[in-house]
Amino acid sequence: MTLITPQPLDQEDEEMLVPNTEMLDRSLPVQGPVAFDGTPPVEAPQPMEVVSTAENQATEEPQASRFTWTIENFSRQTNKKLYSDVFVAGGHKWRVLIFPKGNNVDHLSMYLDVADSSTLPYGWSRYAQFSLAVVNQIHNMFTVKKDTQHQFHARESDWGFTSFMALSDLYDPSRGYLVNDTCIIEADVAVRKVIDYWSYDSKKETGYVGLKNQGATCYMNSLLQTLYHIPYFRKAVYHMPTTENDMPSGSIPLALQSLFYKLQYNETSVATKELTKSFGWDTYDSFMQHDVQELNRVLCEKLEDKMKGTVVEGTIQKLFEGHHMNYIECINVDFKSTRKESFYDLQLDVKGCRDVYASFDKYVEVERLEGDNKYHAEAHGLQDAKKGVLFIDFPPVLQLQLKRFEYDFTRDTMVKINDRYEFPLELDLDRENGKYLSPDADKSVRNLYTLHSVLVHSGGVHGGHYYAFIRPTLSDQWFKFDDERVTKEDTKRALEEQYGGEEELPQTNPGYNNAPFKFTKYSNAYMLVYIRENDKDKIICDVDEKDIAEHLRIRLKKEQEEKENKRRYKAQAHLYTIIKVARDANLLEQIGKDIYFDLVDHDKVHSFRIQKQTPFNQFKEEVAREFGVPVQFQRFWIWAKRQNHTYRPNRPLTALEESQSVGQLREVSSKNHNAELKLFLEIEIGPDLHPIPPPDKSKDDILLFFKLYDPEKEELRYVGRFFVKSSGKPSEIILKLNERAGFGPDEEIELYEEIKFEPCVMCERLDKRASFRTSQIEDGDIICFQKLPKADDKYRYPDVPSFLEYVKNRQIVHFRSLDRPKEDDFCLELSKLHTYDDVVERVAQYLNLDDPSKIRLTPHNCYSQQPKPHPIKYRVAEHLLDMLVHYNQVSDILYYEVLDIPLPELQCLKTLKVAFHHANKEEPVIHNIRLPKQSTVGDVLNEIKSKVTLSHPDAELRLLEVFYHKIYKIFPLTEKIENINDQYWTLRAEEIPEEEKNLGPQDRLIHVYHFTKEAAQNQMQVQNFGEPFFLIIHENETLADVKVRIQKKLQVPDEEFSKWKFAFLSLGRPDYLQDSDVVSNRFQRRDVYGAWEQYLGLEHSDTTPKRSFTANQNRHTYEKPVKIYN
């Protein structure tokens, strides 16, 4: 795919933690796009946290303050952005910046801004932890709050969330974020004072160097540093066979050897581009954040394969491979089944475990197979049994992957577990008489481990930042490897501060707000590496130059010299001028191939690097040596950029100018300090094909350049230049042009002046009878000519203007099926000026489809590399270019669908996905209902009636809005379907029970929901699940009576139902009921807003079948799998 401009920090449907891009005119690395999963932000989604490099350099406790901003008449705000009043936190001035209609996205955009940044002294910076929130004024638990941390400075004086929350949720008055058209925003800000590290030298301070981040490769950097600091592993990599003919970009072993060598001997941070190229990754892969655990497995598997048949074969297994035994043992009969399996790393549960030992206890926990879950023991049949895992042996290097990311079935999304989780400096896996070991384990091996590395993930489920704490020699000194920077750290920093949990910060003005200011610690350990005490001398071994192949040492020293030369070149750049010299040969080579407009691409002509004080006449001698053209035969023209944005030779240099220095002459051509000097070298060739002196040029002489167009071949080429008299006429040069073109002397030709090509092509016929002066022809102008078109010619582009128009607007478009958005199906050459109808007609023609109106196109998001969420409406996009533009980039990809009905007809229809719950069947059936947009809910229900079998012919239906297992709305039959949203909410159709149609005066229709209680952030939270329903309760009816009806309705067996608890819940707090309690007393007597928050709760375990979730459940939801291709 071709991208026209660099990638900015901007997204359509992703959440990204970024500076406000309006204030930023440079491209920043993106940590990874976030896939929109359709879940509205009612659970306070985690931010994608980009951690400041100074994050761990705090010198004192942070000071926290809270600011509340109440914005009235919010929906009537017309300004694109709004600033809050200035407030003070930590002794500094701040303000909140919001974009009420989104910063080029369909989300509220919100940032924290340094209020006085324009008046602060040069080099200022400050570091803050902060949270931003939009308060839910109906129910605080639905407040959307996101927190992060950042180091603010002149180039990033604001920081926050471009996609804070969906505008559709914010502006929906029923959601509670706008009440009386008032929005309340809260900002909690804690300021840390930091050490300035602008001039920090990692090698000098620590003896180690970091790795450069390519955009989103911090996850890879932390893993590579960990592997590099296992010397036995590094030595094995050095001993992998490579040759001087290998290229690092095509050889993983050589690229890794090169990287490790540079980490060992470089003075500054090391780039990883060669390594990622050897993986077969392109730039996009480097901007896509992956899971470090997955990369570790894939990389080790690849190295294990590359080591086969070499002197280091088996190294990966020797270091990382352990074995465990899965067993099932019958309780009542003598039968046992075992299976031995190997592992390179262990995945340990974090949720519900306080430390590593608790995770190991859970790992080997015995499961009882009994009741309905008995084990089939071959000849013994179904038996009660014990099932579990025990370890046969542990590896010398033990890699523990902590399951910080888990799939939450109730929320139907991935979540990050930020709970506190402790890990020891010394890990004893022989504890309690070897409780983790199988009977077959070798008890003579002492499984005592010492902590070597702690890999940390800072951020949320949708991405963030990785870094590592490592003890390279297992001494007491820890080092933090954070991309390019390496710092010394103490044990507390490496261990305790990476446990996770919550951090409470002191309030500076407790009288203003007494609530404790708590931050969830999004930075926490994600992977641990332990080294066995008995093996540490072998693993932490010496690695020196003799371990490195000679060809590698030579190659890398040569690279170092080249790098030094480049550095020196750059340092001396201010002493030199780059002179680019274009000649006829360049025009002949480029026009009609590389370029069509103007005369030359200056990046592809010969350039000279000349000291600024060098006299220009001395430079001409350099040109004579390079081109073989004696000084006296050289005439140089200076180029000029015209007002119409074309770039043409303007005039010859004067004798006075040629007597000046190169530096002085450059200043004449451009005031830009770093500008290059661009010249055109005019050389006249005599009959003997040798250079001759250039002709004298009077004021009446004009230098013109000529291009010939052949409409049959659709070819444009350069045919030379010559002088004409401004008083002369084009008709006088026809003979000469025919000779240049190879035409007969009497051939009739048309002449055109190529005037400009930006923003549109201007190429006009030249009057042959008018003088050049009359036609305003001047030095450097371009004349295009062709044979006079004949009436019977059938060419696509019969003349020069139509051909140049075609060249300017032609666009190769890659079409992909919307079902297979990663694969190109076919390519078509189109014009950017093609109308919507032109484009779909060409696509239909390619697909052999009779009706182009059945083609629906969807544009491409250049940043996420995915289809945009909304297709292109019929004939809304005027031209192809409108379909391809994504903010300030132009894509070359479109996605297509073939519809079953024409798109104009479909656009008049509304499609709703409705789940029909039959009165007598458990499983709902999904129906896609397609009706005109002006239809009502009643029409939808009538359509469903025609598709389903009802319990009786006169049954009435209703349509409900269900979200997170709660009923939020019963749709009136007259409500129009046009504005009903089935993307976030579930639409449920069901029969109305007969008893509900005949409510008595004291009867109440209440909500009944299933729930469980779960521990989260050290407190119990109610989690709803299952299918909610309505129930009639009668006056004075006790819970005992109600339970009988609920059990009958849900058909729950007595044994299971006896375990259920019943509670009245209001705003998420359960009040448990006794059988004798009168249920109707607990419920409001009239409908109130938020009725779904007062319900009868059925507390029991969730036994509904979970949807399957594939093996990548520890990978972030937005990622594609890690692949190493070579």
Could you tell me if 685 and 760 are in contact, meaning their C-beta atoms sit under 8 angstroms apart?
no
- What pLDDT score was predicted for residue 426? 95
Between residues 282 and 295, the one the model is more confident about: 295
- What pLDDT score was predicted for residue 348? 92
- What pLDDT score was predicted for residue 406? 78
Residue 58 has pLDDT above 80, yes or no: no
Could you tell me if 96 and 132 are in contact, meaning their C-beta atoms sit under 8 angstroms apart?
yes
The two tokens of residue 535 are 């093996």
Q: Give the chain's mean pLDDT.
A: 83
- What pLDDT score was predicted for residue 910? 84
Q: Where are the alpha helices (DSSP H) in 114-249?
A: 167-170, 202-206, 218-228, 231-238
Q: Which of 15-19, 518-522, 523-527 has the highest mean pLDDT?
A: 523-527
Residue 516 has pLDDT above 70, yes or no: no
587-612 residue pLDDT tens: 999 999 989 999 999 999 999 999 98
Among 50, 64, 1102, 1045, which Cα is nearest to 506's? 64
- What pLDDT score was predicted for residue 19? 55
1060-1095 residue pLDDT tens: 999 998 777 888 999 898 888 887 655 444 555 678
Report the SS3 class of residue 5.
Answer: coil
- What pLDDT score was predicted for residue 34? 31
Among 21, 131, 32, 145, which Cα is nearest to 465's? 32
Residue 180 makes CB contacts below 8 A (sequence gap 6+) with none
Q: Please compute the mean of the pLDDT values over residues 471-499 and round it to a whole number.
A: 90
Q: What percent of the chain has pLDDT over 70?
A: 85
Residue 503 has pLDDT above 80, yes or no: no
Residue recorded with tokens 């009497």: 746
- Residues labelled catalytic: 218, 465
Query: Would you place residue 787 in the very low, low, confident or very high pLDDT band (cuts 50, 70, 90)?
Result: very high
Could you tell me if 617 and 654 are in contact, meaning their C-beta atoms sit under 8 angstroms apart?
no
- What pLDDT score was predicted for residue 995? 82
How far is residue 359's CA from residue 402's CA, in Å, rounded to a whole number?
A: 9
**Range in 165-179, 495-509, 816-830 with the lowest mean pLDDT:** 495-509
Residue 124 has pLDDT above 80, yes or no: yes
Residue 46 has pLDDT above 80, yes or no: no
- Name the burial class of residue 1095, with classes exposed (0-12), middle (13-18) and buried (19+) by CB atoms within 10 angstroms of its CB: buried
Q: Tally the C-alpha atoms within 13 A of residue 824's C-alpha that lie toward its C-beta.
A: 9
Could you tell me if 34 and 861 are in contact, meaning their C-beta atoms sit under 8 angstroms apart?
no
Could you tell me if 734 and 749 are in contact, meaning their C-beta atoms sit under 8 angstroms apart?
yes
SS (H, E, C) 835-880: EHHHHHHHHHHHCCCCCHHHEEEECEECCCCEECCCCCCCCCCCEH
1002-1039 residue pLDDT tens: 888 888 999 988 755 445 678 888 888 888 888 888 99
Q: Please compute the mean of the pLDDT values over residues 551-575 and round it to a whole number.
A: 83
Residue 519 has pLDDT above 80, yes or no: no
Among 346, 301, 289, which Cα is nearest to 35's? 289
Q: Tally the C-alpha atoms within 13 A of residue 492's C-alpha that lie toward its C-beta.
A: 1
Query: Would you place residue 469 in the very low, low, confident or very high pLDDT band (cuts 50, 70, 90)?
Result: very high
Between residues 394 and 163, the one the model is more confident about: 394
- What pLDDT score was predicted for residue 436? 94
Residue 872 has pLDDT above 70, yes or no: yes
Interior CA angle at 1012 toward 1009 and 1018, to 5°?
Answer: 135
Residue recorded with tokens 């040029």: 697
For the chain, the maximum distance between any two Cα atoms, rounded to a whole number of angstroms, is 119
Report the SS3 class of residue 175.
Answer: helix
- What pLDDT score was predicted for residue 249? 67
Residue 449 has pLDDT above 90, yes or no: yes
- What pLDDT score was predicted for residue 1123? 53
Could you tell me if 358 and 490 are in contact, meaning their C-beta atoms sit under 8 angstroms apart?
no
- What pLDDT score was predicted for residue 313? 85
Query: Would you place residue 446 in the very low, low, confident or very high pLDDT band (cuts 50, 70, 90)?
Result: very high
- 887 Ramachandran zone, left/alpha/beta (phi>0; psi -120 to 50): left
How far is residue 398's CA from residue 1011's CA, in Å, rounded to a whole number?
A: 40
- What pLDDT score was predicted for residue 463? 65
Among 889, 914, 598, 593, which Cα is nearest to 758's? 598
Q: Which of 271-285, 625-639, 982-996 has the highest mean pLDDT?
A: 625-639
Residue 86 has pLDDT above 50, yes or no: yes
Residue 97 has pLDDT above 70, yes or no: yes
User: What phi and psi values does residue 858 have, to the nearest 5 degrees?
Assistant: -130, 135
How far is residue 364's CA from residue 387's CA, in Å, rounded to a whole number?
A: 9
User: What phi and psi values does residue 427 have, to the nearest 5 degrees?
Assistant: -115, 120
Q: Please compute the mean of the pLDDT values over residues 1101-1120 and round it to a whole number.
A: 44
**Range in 259-273, 451-465, 724-738, 742-756 with the lowest mean pLDDT:** 451-465
- What pLDDT score was predicted for residue 997? 81
Could you tell me if 1065 and 1022 are in contact, meaning their C-beta atoms sit under 8 angstroms apart?
yes
User: 3-state DSSP helix/strand/coil percent for the chain, to nearest 5?
Assistant: 25, 35, 40
Residue 457 has pLDDT above 80, yes or no: yes
CB atoms inside a 10 Å sphere around CB 669: 19
Among 3, 457, 382, 411, which Cα is nearest to 223's? 457
